[in-house]
Amino acid sequence: MSIRKGRFLLFVFISLRCSVIFSFTDPITQQKLDQVPNLPGQSFNVDFAHYAGYVTVNQEAGRALFYWLTEAVEDPASKPLVLWLNGGPGCSSIAFGMAEEVGPFHVNKDGKSVYLNPYSWNTVANLLFLDSPAGVGYSYSNTTSDILNNGDKRTAADSLQFLLNWLERFPQFKGRGFYIAGESYAGHYVPQLSQAIVRYNKANTKSPINLKGYMVGNALTDDYSDHMGVFQFMWSAGMISDQTYKKSNELCDKESFIHPSRECDEMIDIGYREMGNIDPYSIFTPPCSANGLTSRLSRRWHRVGHIGQSYDPCTEQHSIVYFNLPEVQNALHVFQTNTSRKWETCNIAINTHWQDSPISVLDVHQELISAGLRVWIFSGDTDAVIPVTSTRYSIDALKLPTVSPWRAWYDDGQVGGWTQGYEGLTFVTVRGAGHEVPLHKPKLALVLLNNFLAGNPMASFEQVVEFKASALEQVSSF
């Protein structure tokens, strides 16, 4: 009965689409309509076009996902397409990815204006942000129950549908080299979406999405390894007691990371109390005092931190002001579902009602490594939320042979972090960066993206010296 009902609905859905299609704006016209002329509070010109709007991923339920594409600064037609995803679950890629990490437009302290991020990833690629799943950021569903029924499976399926429909609106990107990157809970989204694409491509050989690889940072990967690494990191950084360290390991050993048992959850609370009012996403930088004590949601997932004098730990607060401005929402073609609904950086209802979340995505990584995708895993090493120790345990569990041993990598003569090459996987740490690597170390994050896209290992000390020597030779030969 339910199968027949399902087929019937599918039939109605298809015929509805056909009858309605002519009255809809055609995709290319829609692309033009999506172009964003100038942002409120943007006092500078940019050399790239950008587009924002919605792609319907489920007509029946009325689910539409919000995207923002910033074309590459130079020669976008020759540059790859990179999709950036934030985690949560429930956090917006606009709030974090665009406004304080890899995007060109970062929000000023006044919450009313933006400045240009010189290390934006659209300096080397076409950069696409997606608020996923429905209910996150500006994305929405007309079926209110959808918001409380999100999980990994539907997120991957909707994101794949988004890409397929989006490529109809932006056919210039069909067949273009495509990469996915993200952090935190996107450690689930990125490999799961990649897997959905690889499987879609197998079944649709005529119209593949040209996915070449993916990269995840401070990524939730394997609940067992992630828990073990968190407690070890907190303990060795001197933030929790011996007893809490021991008991956390005992009580959280086999627990889900996002749905832990009450006992494990209470133990983690004790650990957080021992840590005091520090920013767990970046343990050596000041927390934003506007946040008060770290809330339960932000405790595990999200938020900010950074190193350097100009560092502002409150960037998230500025975004909350900016992206709630009606003129900003108009400029970005935001659909007003419910005018009393406030734009939030992270949707707590989505987070607490999250459904399916496998305890490990190591099997997905394995499948995609075998499929020949370029897989990079990076880690900011001052993050206590999904720390470098967690990621090292996860990678170790993949049991991949080493092809290039552990070594330091360099940028500007300084150690940028450490790296190890495995068969099918490259691991890169970023020294002094927290949970949001591109926020704390924007230049190093751009170097990382460049190497990832080129498939080049991070520079060794010798390479840096050789490069300087050859540059000197060139100079002296003039």
Ligand X SMILES: *[C@@H]1O[C@H](CO)[C@@H](O)[C@H](O)[C@H]1NC(C)=O
Residues taking part in catalysis: 184, 383, 435
Contact 298, 91 (CB under 8 A): no
**CA dihedral sign of residues 271, 345, 378, 282:** negative
Nearest distance from residue 382's CB to ligand X, in Å? 36
Nearest distance from residue 142's CB to ligand X, in Å? 4
Using N-to-C axis directions, what is the helix angle for 242-252 and 223-236, rounded to 10°? 180
Number of residues that bind ligand X (CB under 6 A): 8
Q: How many residues does the chain have?
A: 478
Shorter beta-carbon distance to ligand X: residue 201 or 352: 352
**CA dihedral sign of residues 380, 383, 385, 386:** positive
Rounded Cα distance between 113 and 109, Å, is 8
Shorter beta-carbon distance to ligand X: residue 5 or 342: 342
Query: Exposed, middle or buried: residue 373 (CB in 10 Å: 0-12, 13-18, 19+)?
Result: buried
Whether the bond between 89 and the residue before it is cis, its omega within 30 degrees of 0, is yes
Identify residues 124-183 at the interface with ligand X (CB under 6 A).
Answer: 142, 144
Shorter beta-carbon distance to ligand X: residue 158 or 383: 158
Identify residues 427-456 at the interface with ligand X (CB under 6 A).
Answer: none
- Contact region with ligand X (CB under 6 A), list: 231-239, 276-284, 334-342, 369-377: 334-342
Identify residues 397-416 at the interface with ligand X (CB under 6 A).
Answer: none
Across 392-403, b (16+ Cβ under 10 Å) vs e yields bbbbeebebeee
List residues bridging with 293 in a β-sheet: none
Nearest distance from residue 339's CB to ligand X, in Å? 8
- Contact region with ligand X (CB under 6 A), list: 24-32, 289-297, 338-346, 425-433: 338-346
Shorter beta-carbon distance to ligand X: residue 18 or 203: 18
Rounded Cα distance between 61 and 58, Å, is 6
x-or-dash string of contact with ligand X, 52-91, rule CB under 6 A = ----x-----x-x---------------------------
Nearest distance from residue 17's CB to ligand X, in Å? 12
Report CA dihedral (358, 359, 361, 366) to the nearest 10 degrees.
-120
Nearest distance from residue 340's CB to ligand X, in Å? 4
- Residue 341 binding ligand X, by CB under 6 A: yes
- Residue 261 binding ligand X, by CB under 6 A: no
- Contact region with ligand X (CB under 6 A), list: 256-264, 324-332, 337-345, 347-355: 337-345
Nearest distance from residue 150's CB to ligand X, in Å? 15
- Contact region with ligand X (CB under 6 A), list: 121-129, 212-220, 335-343, 462-470: 335-343
Nearest distance from residue 13's CB to ligand X, in Å? 12
Shorter beta-carbon distance to ligand X: residue 237 or 321: 321
What are the φ/ψ torsions at residue 27 (nearest 5 degrees)?
Answer: -55, -40
Binder to ligand X among 78, 338, 474, 477 (CB under 6 A)? 338
Instruction: Give me the amino acid identity at 40.
Output: P
Contact 118, 136 (CB under 8 A): no
Contact 37, 178 (CB under 8 A): no
Nearest distance from residue 338's CB to ligand X, in Å? 4
Element (H, E) at 445: helix 442-454
Shorter beta-carbon distance to ligand X: residue 67 or 452: 67
Shorter beta-carbon distance to ligand X: residue 56 or 172: 56
Beta-strand runs (E) in 149-251: 178-183, 211-217
Contact 347, 301 (CB under 8 A): no
What residue has token string 């008991």?
Answer: 247
Shorter beta-carbon distance to ligand X: residue 54 or 231: 54
Binder to ligand X among 340, 370, 476, 477 (CB under 6 A)? 340
Using CB under 6 A as the criterion, which residues of the chain lie in contact with ligand X when the complex forms? 56, 62, 64, 142, 144, 338, 340-341
